[in-house]
Copies of this chain bind each other. A is one copy, B any other.
Amino acid sequence: MSAGWLRRRFLPGGPLPAPRPSAPRASPVPYRRPRFLRGSGSSPAADAARRPDARPVRSPARGSALPWNAGYAEIINAEKSEFNEDQAACGKLCIRRYEFGAEEDQEWLTLCAEEFLTGHYWALFDGHGGPAAAILAANTLHSCLRRQLEAVVEGIVATQPPMHLSGHCVCLSDPQFVEEKGIKTEDLVIGALESAFQECDEVIGRELEASCQVGGCTALVAVSLQGKLYVANAGDSRALLVRRDEIKPLSSEFTPETERQRIQQLAFVYPELLAGEFTRLEFPRRLKGDDLGQKVLFRDHHMNGWSYKRVEKADLKYPLIHGQGRQARLLGTLAVSRGLGDHQLRVLDTNIQLKPFLLSVPQVTVLDMDQLELGEDDVVVMATDGLWDVLSNEQVALLVRSFLPRNRDDPHRFSELAKTLIRSTQGKEDGPAGERQVSYDDVSVFVIPLHSQGEGGSGP
């Protein structure tokens, strides 16, 4: 992304791509469920043929193990869409030595194993506007991440990242400046995750355009590397650390509400992006004709507090961000403000684009597992918003803490726990109405046990 990119890409006069290419250059992205569900009875056909009262909770076949013996389960929505728009991926992350081309030091090359560094990867993608973007992300993001990590792997395995990445040896250059800035090896992994999300976003943009498809997705990724767990989030999924005496969110949600100031700021700088159809200002409700001339509560991009303004005609336009909580929408269209894809997304019946307001860059948090005295039942629960809309962090922790100690002998207990969590979002059919909140959304859950993390190997 270069300077002036946004202007060139999105503003009048720039090389705006046509809303739709005239003919597809490739076949559409085929619908599928995560690879690791093979043999579990899950099939795309079953999704399309489901009845609302017969939505099965799916998880990997007994006997097929995910990294760290993690558990997984998913359920499709109650006919909100034809397909399950959630996707998941996980696997071992094998980071090879970077090839440096002509000047490479042959002697050093022979000292290096083919797999220089290994880690593990779990990812959830919650699609919207169709399943294509989430499927592409599940197919692609881990490759982008591997490439980005390989580009800096020398620095990652050093005690401190060198100022210069020589390609010849891991020798510290200018350590005093790196020290002063407090740059640590984990900052290179964070940087690689940030770059990987952006690279993956570009791939999705190209692929969807080529296949004449649309859509976007959120992305929540956990990566284990050298004793640390990195959680990168762009969207409204959530990762939660649950231990015996501790609950700790490892991500925060990015929605039009939580990113209000960033979004309003962009509309302030580039009012053209609203094409005169929306107002950048926030009001407690949409204004009507009889509010004209009155003083009403409002908030602009620079304000955390509220003030009053006299209503003018322009204030009656539809608000840039409208609605509360789960109903909050960006430009009346989208419930999330970060994610991958949506390159072609426009406000219905207009040419107003959503993409300039969306960020693909994730927020990354780091959990230093080596610093924790991990218990057998300490887990990270990763789930799409369908779970968190219905269950609070505390309710999830309660379910984790009551389920795991009672099922220590079951080798599939983490998938069983993931299923239990999903079933808790489905209400009780024979119970009194309102006894439980019910999720009609797709829900996908990973349960990652931390205790066995040493066993997976995190070399070199």
Cβ contacts under 8 Å, A359 to chain B: 302
Give A193 Cβ to nearest chain B Cβ, in Å. Answer: 7
Please report which residues of chain A, range 287-331, place their CB below 8 angstroms from some CB of chain B when the two chains form the complex: 291, 294-297, 299, 302-308, 324
Cβ contacts under 8 Å, A152 to chain B: 307-308
Contact A3 B191 (CB under 8 A): no
Q: Report if A178 contacts B (CB, 8 A).
A: yes
Known contacts A165-B294, A187-B304, A304-B364; 7 additional CB pairs below 8 A are A148-B307, A151-B307, A161-B297, A165-B295, A165-B308, A183-B284, A189-B305
Contact A306 to B183, CB < 8 A, known contacts A174-B284, A296-B164? yes
Cβ contacts under 8 Å, A305 to chain B: 186-194, 364
Give A86 Cβ to nearest chain B Cβ, in Å. Answer: 26
A residues neighboring B (CB under 8 Å):
1, 3-4, 6-7, 148, 151-152, 155, 161-167, 174, 177-178, 180-181, 183, 186-195, 198, 267-269, 271, 280, 284-285, 291, 294-297, 299, 302-308, 324, 359, 361, 363-364
The residue of chain B having its C-beta at the shortest distance from the C-beta of A294 within the complex is B164
Q: Among B178, B189, B285, B302, point to the contact of A297 (Cβ < 8 A).
A: B178
Q: Among B188, B307, B363, point to the contact of A306 (Cβ < 8 A).
A: B188
Contact A297 to B190, CB < 8 A, known contacts A268-B3, A284-B163? no
Closest 10 pairs between A and B when the two form their complex, measured CB to CB:
A190-B305, A191-B305, A177-B284, A191-B307, A165-B295, A177-B285, A187-B306, A3-B271, A165-B308, A187-B305
Contact A303 B191 (CB under 8 A): yes
Q: Among B1, B306, B361, point to the contact of A191 (Cβ < 8 A).
A: B306
Bound Cα distance A191, B295 (Å): 15
Contact B3 A303 (CB under 8 A): no
Bound Cα distance A305, B162 (Å): 15
Contact A307 to B361, CB < 8 A, known contacts A284-B183, A285-B174? no
Contact B361 A194 (CB under 8 A): no
Contact B303 A194 (CB under 8 A): yes
Q: Among B163, B186, B194, B307, point to the contact of A192 (Cβ < 8 A).
A: B307
Bound Cα distance A453, B190 (Å): 47
Bound Cα distance A141, B280 (Å): 28
Contact B181 A324 (CB under 8 A): yes
Return 18 A-B CB contacts under 8 Å, by A number. Answer: A3-B280, A7-B269, A151-B307, A164-B294, A164-B296, A165-B295, A166-B294, A166-B295, A178-B284, A183-B297, A187-B304, A191-B299, A191-B304, A192-B307, A193-B305, A194-B305, A302-B361, A304-B364
Cβ contacts under 8 Å, A299 to chain B: 191
